[in-house]
Chain A
């Protein structure tokens, strides 16, 4: 108990220096936590995906479409429960800055397949009834202040023209892993307009979403679907929803890796700062440590003193850092909601914060400890400043 008191007294002997170091560690842990959260936000789509859903798209690439007629043929395959379909619309609301995801979907089957999107039955009925209707996520509706009955116009980039919609519902996520920033409208509306302006592009679908009866048979169903359309004009590629999402992440892998690297660099930087503090502290106290040795305390005692001090400082910094991570992540997430619809601090992030702080505290203590233990008593006592 006494040694703990001594360590505390030592740690706060140089108040200014200790608080500066704690501040530095707080900032570093905060930055580390935010960067880790950015990475987990990147993977949010994967986390939210279900094992019993498949995505079928054109095997050439996502920009090629599949005929609507595949719908019935997919439905006939064993193990297929629900078939839903949609198109990435890529519409722009007023300005490119207002980016959000917008899809044309088949409303009945889509909500059946995605039970995590919660919408009241009468809003859903109103959406299905109105060909020009749309449903927006709660956060998206809040962002632009849309209310039921409001009309919204999107400018098409892939499908040319101005497209008018009327808001018919707001959906909520079942839990906080569900993206609440998406805009859904009726696929029939898109298709009917395409029939008029560009008949060659009508009855074409971007991707099918398929619900299978049991998650265990998902892989077999995927193979069967692809086999059905082998050597046809539009060959398909069917993956589980998870693999589909991971495919997107793999394409921007370089950025994820860069953020990961940077998150480690910030720890190394703070390690240098912390090691510096500890080196100075130990150098100033080298005389004291020599006195301890003269009194008969062993090297281990001195090591405990130095490591303890180092760990106390880094853990206090870590605690502040973690405490600030939550409000910071919240405001960061609001500011970047169009890049990252989901921005939650994961429990693993907190564990990694603590591990990083322990590492910093330990590494910073090594060099001063070695030096203080190995110096000869007479040299230690002789040294000034």
Chain B
């Protein structure tokens, strides 16, 4: 026969202080656990959303990112005329020759500078990134020293707001538009006309060529043919794959940090639960004896104490998740080691993370309660009754 559920709840309530402290400790552990997972998820989402599977990025072989890459003008023109490139209106190939460099801008509120990506774009660049929308001002005119800033840059960096000017390459550049590209890396970039930026930065080569595939399944054939062409020392990647690679190091760092922190913290919380449950057993020796004398089996006693410990875990997990869900209101902006430049991303709570956090909390509760519950179940009736 089972011991009624209300018995467990009432027990937890009687020792509110202890219960509260144990639950609080577990909640903090779950909070940290889910916060790190949410950060990694947010980073992944941002970079995956940046790329489109139909787009192909071409960079110099061996370079890890657009910043290190160089594509000669002549090579870029040959890529534009490849048969796999989709055609837009009026037969214009949907290919963009772009320049990607980083510049140092001071952050608002401090004088500390940080690296920001500045992308020289062609007219077709916008067609390749339909997620990008102008939210304030207008598009920069081709052939002028007008630029537009991503929404995360406009907010965080001096000189990034509308009407403000930046000085580099011996010229002043006016921000005439703010764009929002949603939760993507582009929202942390500045865009201007590639034909203006290249002479300003004294660059003779483009950084990359991005084009849209006419047929998305043609990528593998294109890659094979293109990379064996002796005219090029270039490498083609789907845009999604390219941005995934950009986040690998950062994601790995977050993962290592998250896992090691979680293991250490959970040990602390398990010990907390164990102390509580051992005390719960010790305080109720005669009660356990009475229950056994009434005819409850050892397994019922074991179940009751385990359930009580699982309840602690459940409340802790629930509370931790509740507070971590508010983290979604925050955005983290930091340097991506691989591109040496600023990237903003937010905490993202997915269902998978919620389940993992909850499961983790219950495991902590179980681990903390198992030994004390076994001790309670193995108690001889007579000794237990006599101890009172």
- A-side residues, CB < 8 A to B, are 16-17, 20-21, 23-24, 27-28, 30-31, 59-64, 90, 96, 155-158, 160-161, 200, 231, 233, 237, 247, 250-255, 259, 262, 265-266, 268-270, 272-273, 275-277, 279-280, 284, 339, 367, 385
Whether B170 lies near A157 (C-beta < 8 A) is no
Residue B21 at the chain A interface, CB threshold 8 Å? yes
Residue B104 at the chain A interface, CB threshold 8 Å? yes
Cβ–Cβ < 8 Å partners of B114 in chain A: 250-251
Cβ–Cβ < 8 Å partners of A158 in chain B: 63, 68
User: Which of B61, B113, B170, B265 gathers the greatest number of chain A CB atoms within 10 Å?
Assistant: B265
Against A, the Cβ 8 Å flags (1 = close, 0 = not) of B17-44 are 1100110110011011000000000000
Given contacts A64-B201, A262-B32, contact A160 B60 (CB under 8 A): yes
CB < 8 Å neighbour of A28 from B170, B253, B268:
B268
Chain A residue at minimal CB-CB distance from B332: A254
Whether B334 lies near A272 (C-beta < 8 A) is no
Whether B64 lies near A27 (C-beta < 8 A) is no
Given contacts A251-B335, A269-B265, contact A156 B29 (CB under 8 A): no
Residue B67 at the chain A interface, CB threshold 8 Å? yes
A259 to B278, CA, bound (A): 33
Whether A280 lies near B275 (C-beta < 8 A) is yes
Residue B112 at the chain A interface, CB threshold 8 Å? yes
Whether A61 lies near B115 (C-beta < 8 A) is yes
Whether A24 lies near B115 (C-beta < 8 A) is no
Give, as a whole number of angstroms, the nearest-CB distance from A336 to chain B.
Answer: 8
Cβ–Cβ < 8 Å partners of B334 in chain A: 251-255
Whether B267 lies near A27 (C-beta < 8 A) is yes
Whether B28 lies near A20 (C-beta < 8 A) is no
- B-side residues, CB < 8 A to A, are 17-18, 21-22, 24-25, 28-29, 31-32, 60-64, 67-68, 101-104, 110, 112-115, 168-170, 201-202, 204, 233, 253, 257, 261, 264-265, 267-269, 271-272, 274-276, 278-279, 283, 332-335, 337, 340, 342
A266 to B340, CA, bound (A): 31
23 examples of A-B residue contacts, CB within 8 angstroms: A17-B279, A21-B271, A27-B267, A59-B104, A96-B64, A157-B62, A157-B63, A160-B61, A250-B110, A250-B114, A252-B334, A254-B334, A269-B29, A272-B22, A272-B272, A273-B272, A273-B275, A276-B22, A276-B272, A277-B275, A279-B21, A280-B18, A280-B275
Chain A residue at minimal CB-CB distance from B256: A336
A284 to B283, CA, bound (A): 9
Q: A-B pairs with the 8 shortest C-beta distances? A: A272-B25, A254-B334, A273-B272, A251-B335, A276-B21, A24-B271, A250-B112, A31-B264
CB < 8 Å neighbour of A272 from B21, B169, B261, B278:
B21
Cβ–Cβ < 8 Å partners of B31 in chain A: 265
Cβ–Cβ < 8 Å partners of A59 in chain B: 104
Apart from A233-B170, A270-B268, 15 more pairs, CB < 8 Å:
A21-B275, A24-B268, A27-B268, A60-B101, A60-B201, A64-B101, A251-B115, A251-B342, A266-B268, A269-B29, A269-B268, A272-B22, A279-B17, A279-B18, A284-B283
Whether A63 lies near B340 (C-beta < 8 A) is yes
A268 to B320, CA, bound (A): 14
A367 to B20, CA, bound (A): 13
Chain A residue at minimal CB-CB distance from B29: A269
CB < 8 Å neighbour of B68 from A157, A161, A266:
A157
CB < 8 Å neighbour of B28 from A61, A255, A269:
A269
Whether B272 lies near A160 (C-beta < 8 A) is no
Chain A residue at minimal CB-CB distance from B202: A233
A253 to B275, CA, bound (A): 38
Cβ–Cβ < 8 Å partners of A252 in chain B: 334-335, 337
Whether A272 lies near B28 (C-beta < 8 A) is yes
Cβ–Cβ < 8 Å partners of B25 in chain A: 269, 272-273, 276
Cβ–Cβ < 8 Å partners of A255 in chain B: 253, 334
A255 to B332, CA, bound (A): 9
Whether B269 lies near A269 (C-beta < 8 A) is yes
Whether B62 lies near A155 (C-beta < 8 A) is yes
Cβ–Cβ < 8 Å partners of B264 in chain A: 27, 30-31, 266
Cβ–Cβ < 8 Å partners of A23 in chain B: 271
Give, as a whole number of angstroms, the nearest-CB distance from A8 to chain B.
Answer: 20
User: Which of A155, A251, A265 gathers the greatest number of chain B CB atoms within 10 Å?
Assistant: A251
A61 to B342, CA, bound (A): 13
Give, as a whole number of angstroms, the nearest-CB distance from A375 to chain B.
Answer: 14
A16 to B102, CA, bound (A): 58
Cβ–Cβ < 8 Å partners of B60 in chain A: 160
A159 to B201, CA, bound (A): 19
Chain B residue at minimal CB-CB distance from A162: B62
A154 to B169, CA, bound (A): 33
